[in-house]
């Protein structure tokens, strides 16, 4: 455990929540993907073994991909500790999932459901609606995870590059 803490630059025990959450969320993603890929086996013991093995393989691949991304982003993201990369990925995952989930009810509330307008209009409008929702949710979730200052700077830089930097001027 000492080596693990040193590797992730964990100085206090409460910071262990981020690697633990990262592993749990990777496992949950592996389970969700494996269940989607279960389209040819009949329910039973063989199906369970298949799902367990596929889940473990997918979880391993997700963790390896995340670690690869950490290495690539190490010089681009200015974070003090390595465990903060895990926290940042968790914030992005929660925010993206939440924005995607709530965009459909928001569209319905505006009277722009997928059944009332063409898909050619619905999907661009949904993306346009998701964008500001995502920006607000990103800061809220970042605040909950103690990463507000990093994500505020991240959003400020991103929106400036998109020509929307005027939103942050005082």
Evaluate if residue 168 carries a pLDDT over 70.
Answer: no
In a shared domain, residues 60 and 82: no
The residue segments making up the domain with residue 120 are 78-170
Domain boundary among 25, 41, 76: 76
**Residue 26: band (very low, low, confident or very high) from pLDDT cuts 50, 70, 90:** very high
Q: CB neighbours (10 Å) of residue 163?
A: 7
In a shared domain, residues 109 and 139: yes
Domain boundary among 76, 96, 111: 76
In a shared domain, residues 15 and 85: no
Mean pLDDT of the chain: 87
> Who has greater pLDDT, 23 or 44?
23
Phi-psi map region of 148: left, alpha, beta (phi>0 left; psi -120 to 50 alpha): alpha
Evaluate if residue 169 carries a pLDDT over 70.
Answer: no
In a shared domain, residues 72 and 92: no
| Residue 140 near residue 130, CB atoms below 8 Å | no
Evaluate if residue 30 carries a pLDDT over 70.
Answer: yes
Is 144 in a helix, a strand, or coil?
helix
Phi-psi map region of 78: left, alpha, beta (phi>0 left; psi -120 to 50 alpha): beta
Q: Domain total for the chain?
A: 2
Residue range 118-147: mean pLDDT, rounded:
90
């Amino acid at each position: 455990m000492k080596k693990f803490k040193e590797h992730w630059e964990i100085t206090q025990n409460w910071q262990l929540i981020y690697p633990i959450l990262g592993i749990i969320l990777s496992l949950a993603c592996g389970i969700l993907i494996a269940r989607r890929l279960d389209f040819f086996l009949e329910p039973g013991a063989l199906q369970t073994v298949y799902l367990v093995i596929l889940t473990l393989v997918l979880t391993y691949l997700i963790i390896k991909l995340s670690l690869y991304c950490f290495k690539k982003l190490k010089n681009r993201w200015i974070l003090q500790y390595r465990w903060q990369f895990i926290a940042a990925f968790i914030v992005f995952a929660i925010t993206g999932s939440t924005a995607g989930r709530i965009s459909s009810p928001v569209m319905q509330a505006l009277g722009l459901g997928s059944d009332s307008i063409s898909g050619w209009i619905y999907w661009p409008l949904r993306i346009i609606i998701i964008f500001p929702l995502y920006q607000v949710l990103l800061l809220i979730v970042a605040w909950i995870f103690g990463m507000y200052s990093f994500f505020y700077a991240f959003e400020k830089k991103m929106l400036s590059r998109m020509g929307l930097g005027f939103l942050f001027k005082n």
